[in-house]
Structures are given as structure tokens and as C-alpha cells.
């Protein structure tokens, strides 16, 4: 039995939109024949693109608007003046229940602001977080927050831990995902007050999560834990540092292979293996950052991605729908709420 999944797309968001969005949707449809699309954007641009993709056109509805959110628009402006933008219409469709999720490659700050404004956060969650997953020596890990919350208190971090755990369990398929708090050392005394307090809450709570304590930056790539929890400032820097380091290494490797005819020959022979590795590390594979903690599934694609990357972001959104991510996270926060209350009253006494 396959569920009917309607995916709302911000057809005008991203550097190469709307072409990249339509091409990505076409790829996604090939992989997931049961999805349908609600493309929000300029009909005049979308019609000719869809005309070339009849199989996609057959499962796509266009919601026309000429308006869009610019990549430099402030979040507050996006909320106020973007009521008829492609991004807003796509999010509204999730709110109205017309779509199960929304994918946008547009302005991240605006997407988070509009999604929070329209969909609201789930009960028990103060602030949504941005999460993504990427390759490690042990497989894949999930990290959050990646930039939605520049400053976080201990409770925010605890909530991120629970959200990340649900994501890793339901979407990445870990049976009992392990959780680590990103810090500058693993000893209890290390770090700032927020991480120390969050660690204490996670350690002492009866939450059914496998909290492993503090982890450090090098634990991300090592895959020491399945979910890495941090504030949005640190998480954003860590993610981009990892991306930058992979980019650096790849270019250095290319230079090394090109340095002599014998190493060029060596490259030709190992090309298959190196291409496999390159595919594994391909950032497009890991495209799709989840805005967790909202009353609705919202996935942000990298703005500069291509059709392959955008199709992967659509795949992430569809996975979250199919695996019932929203129900599970709601259940977990209900349980968390139930646990919190006696604790708090005890503290007051």
C-alpha cells in the first residue's frame, strides 16, 4: 500500500529556479511514482518546462504567482510583504492540508520565518531547528541546529536532542540512535553553561534516548554518535568547515594526480574507485536540510543545487511523510512534557 503524497514546491526558490525545480521534480517522480506536486510559481515559466516532462506534468498542479522572495530579503520583510510569494503559497498549502510537505531552495531565513509564522511550532518545542545528515566513517549522522538559532539555552538543546533522535530513528532508520552534545572537550567541566546544563538534563532525564555525553568536532566525521546536537552558530560553522575541508581535500587530490604522467596513469586506473568515493561524498546526496519542530514538514534545499540535489531534497521530505515523522515527534514531546512536570514541581519544593 502506498500513501498518496502531495509535495508543495517553491518553484521560484534557488539560484537555478524554476528550471532546476522542474527537472528535480521530474527525477524525483521517476524514483517515487506515487508522489504528486503542487508547484507554486510563475505559470508562464513553468508551463513550457512541464510541457517537456509529460509524466511529471500529469501529476503536477500549478499555483500561479509572479511574486517571489529574494535571496537577500530579510525574514521580517518576507513575512510582511511576501504573502503572495511562491514560498508562502507552498507553505500555506501545507497549513491548509493540501500538501503533506514543502520543499524550497530559497532564502533559508525567510523560509524558517514564514514556516514558523504559518505552521507554528509543535507543542513543547520553543524553537524549530535546522537539521541535516551527512556521511561518517560509520555511515551517516544527523546534526542540528545548523543556523536557525544563533543563541540557544539548555532547554533548546535538549529539545533539539529529542527532535534529532526522532529523525534519526524514523527517517535514517537507526533503531536506538546515540546522541552527543557538541563541546570542546568530553569532560563534564568543559564548555559553556548551556551545554553543561543541557548535558545534566539529558543525563538525569528518564527520556528513552541513548545520550552519550559530550562529543568534539572530530567525532562528527568519525561517526561517534548518530545525532550531534549543538547551537545554530556552532553547527553552521562546523557544517561549512566540513564542506570546505572536503572541497579543499578534493582539489588537492586532483592536483596531486595531475602532478606527473605516472600519477595521471594511476588516476586512470583507480578512477572507478575514486568516482565511487566522490559519489559517496557528493554534497548533492546530502542535500535537504529539515526544519524540525514545526506543525508540518519543511525541507530546505541548497540554493545552488542542481536537479539531482533538488530531487534528493524532495526524497527527504517524502521519506519524512511516509515514515510518519510528525506523529512520532508529537508523541515524543507529549511524553517529554509528561516527564517534565513532576521534575519541575520537585525543583520548586
Q: Which stretch binds a copy of itself (CB under 8 A): 45-53, 84-92, 97-105, 181-189?
A: 181-189
- Closer by beta carbon to a copy of itself, 193 or else 341: 193
200 in contact with a copy of itself (CB under 8 A): no
Residue where the block lists cell 545520550: 211
**Are the C-beta atoms of 232 and 130 separated by less than 8 Å?**
yes
Q: Which of 267, 299, 271, 273 is nearest to 286 (CA)?
A: 299
Sign of the CA dihedral running 304, 234, 238, 116: negative
**Are the C-beta atoms of 141 and 220 separated by less than 8 Å?**
yes
Which residues 78-107 are close enough to bind a copy of itself by CB under 8 A? none
Which residues 270-329 are close enough to bind a copy of itself by CB under 8 A? 270-274, 276-277, 280-281
256 in contact with a copy of itself (CB under 8 A): yes
DSSP states along 202-244: HHHS--SSEEEEEE-HHHHHHTSSSEEE--HHHHHHHHHHHHH
Radius of gyration of the chain (CA): 21
CA distance 251 to 282: 14
The CB density around residue 52, as the number of other CB atoms within 10 Å, is: 11
Closest distance to a copy of itself from the beta carbon of 277 (Å): 4
- Closer by beta carbon to a copy of itself, 4 or else 280: 280
Closest distance to a copy of itself from the beta carbon of 280 (Å): 7
Q: Which stretch binds a copy of itself (CB under 8 A): 51-59, 158-166, 268-276, 339-347?
A: 268-276
Joined grid coordinates for residue 205? 532525564
260 in contact with a copy of itself (CB under 8 A): yes
76 in contact with a copy of itself (CB under 8 A): no
CB contact set of 144 (below 8 Å; sequence gap of 6+): 129, 130, 131, 132, 160, 163, 164, 227, 228, 229, 230, 235, 292
Rule CB under 8 A: choose which of 217, 282, 285, 328 binds a copy of itself: 217
186 in contact with a copy of itself (CB under 8 A): no
Q: Which stretch binds a copy of itself (CB under 8 A): 8-16, 112-120, 212-220, 291-299?
A: 212-220
**Are the C-beta atoms of 28 and 35 separated by less than 8 Å?**
yes
259 in contact with a copy of itself (CB under 8 A): yes
Residue 19 to residues 8, 24, 27, 59, 249: CA-CA distances in angstroms?
16, 8, 12, 17, 31
Rule CB under 8 A: choose which of 13, 14, 147, 309 binds a copy of itself: 147
CB contact set of 37 (below 8 Å; sequence gap of 6+): 6, 7, 8, 9, 25, 29, 56, 59, 60, 61
- Closer by beta carbon to a copy of itself, 119 or else 227: 227
- Closer by beta carbon to a copy of itself, 189 or else 349: 189
- Closer by beta carbon to a copy of itself, 214 or else 325: 214
Joined grid coordinates for residue 334? 507529549
- Closer by beta carbon to a copy of itself, 90 or else 225: 225
Closest distance to a copy of itself from the beta carbon of 305 (Å): 15
Binding positions for a copy of itself, rule: CB under 8 A: 72, 74, 135-137, 147, 150-151, 182, 184, 187, 189, 191-192, 216-222, 230, 232-234, 236-249, 251-253, 255-257, 259-260, 262-263, 265-274, 276-277, 280-281
Amino acid at each position: 500500500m502506498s500513501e498518496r503524497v502531495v509535495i508543495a514546491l517553491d518553484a521560484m526558490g534557488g539560484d537555478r529556479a524554476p528550471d532546476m525545480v522542474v527537472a528535480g521534480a521530474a527525477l524525483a517522480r521517476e524514483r517515487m511514482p506515487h508522489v504528486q506536486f503542487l508547484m507554486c510559481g510563475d505559470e508562464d515559466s513553468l508551463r513550457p518546462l512541464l510541457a517537456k516532462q509529460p509524466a511529471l506534468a500529469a501529476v503536477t498542479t500549478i499555483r500561479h504567482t509572479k511574486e517571489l522572495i529574494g535571496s537577500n530579503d530579510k525574514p521580517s520583510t518576507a513575512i510582511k510583504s511576501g504573502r503572495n510569494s511562491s514560498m508562502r503559497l507552498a507553505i500555506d498549502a501545507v497549513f491548509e492540508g493540501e500538501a503533506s510537505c514543502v520543499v524550497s531552495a530559497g532564502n533559508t531565513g525567510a523560509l524558517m520565518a514564514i514556516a514558523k509564522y504559518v505552521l507554528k511550532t509543535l507543542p513543547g518545542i520553543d524553537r524549530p531547528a535546522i537539521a541535516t545528515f551527512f556521511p561518517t566513517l560509520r555511515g551517516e549522522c544527523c546534526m542540528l541546529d545548523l543556523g536557525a538559532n544563533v543563541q540557544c539555552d539548555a532547554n533548546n538543546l535538549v529539545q533539539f536532542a529529542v527532535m534529532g533522535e526522532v529523525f534519526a530513528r524514523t527517517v535514517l532508520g537507526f533503531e536506538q540512535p546515540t546522541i552527543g552534545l557538541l563541546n570542546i572537550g568530553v569532560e563534564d567541566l568543559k564548555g559553556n553553561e548551556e551545554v553543561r546544563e543541557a548535558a545534566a538534563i539529558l543525563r538525569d532525564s528518564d527520556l528513552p534516548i541513548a545520550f552519550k555525553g559530550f562529543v568534539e568536532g572530530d567525532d562528527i566525521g568519525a561517526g561517534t554518535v548518530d545525532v550531534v546536537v549543538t547551537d545554530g552558530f556552532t553547527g553552521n560553522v562546523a557544517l561549512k568547515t566540513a564542506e570546505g575541508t572536503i572541497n579543499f581535500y578534493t582539489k588537492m587530490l586532483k592536483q596531486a594526480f595531475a602532478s606527473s604522467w605516472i600519477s595521471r596513469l594511476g588516476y586512470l586506473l583507480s578512477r572507478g574507485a575514486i568516482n565511487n568515493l566522490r559519489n559517496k561524498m557528493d554534497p548533492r546526496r546530502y542535500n535537504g536540510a529539515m526544519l524540525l519542530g514545526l506543525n508540518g514538514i519543511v525541507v530546505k534545499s541548497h540554493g545552488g543545487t542542481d536537479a539531482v540535489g533538488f530531487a534528493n531534497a524532495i526524497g527527504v521530505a517524502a521519506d519524512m511523510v511516509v515514515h510518519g515523522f510528525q506523529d512520532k515527534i508529537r508523541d515524543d514531546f507529549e511524553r517529554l512534557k509528561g516527564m517534565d512536570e513532576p521534575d519541575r514541581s520537585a525543583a520548586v519544593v
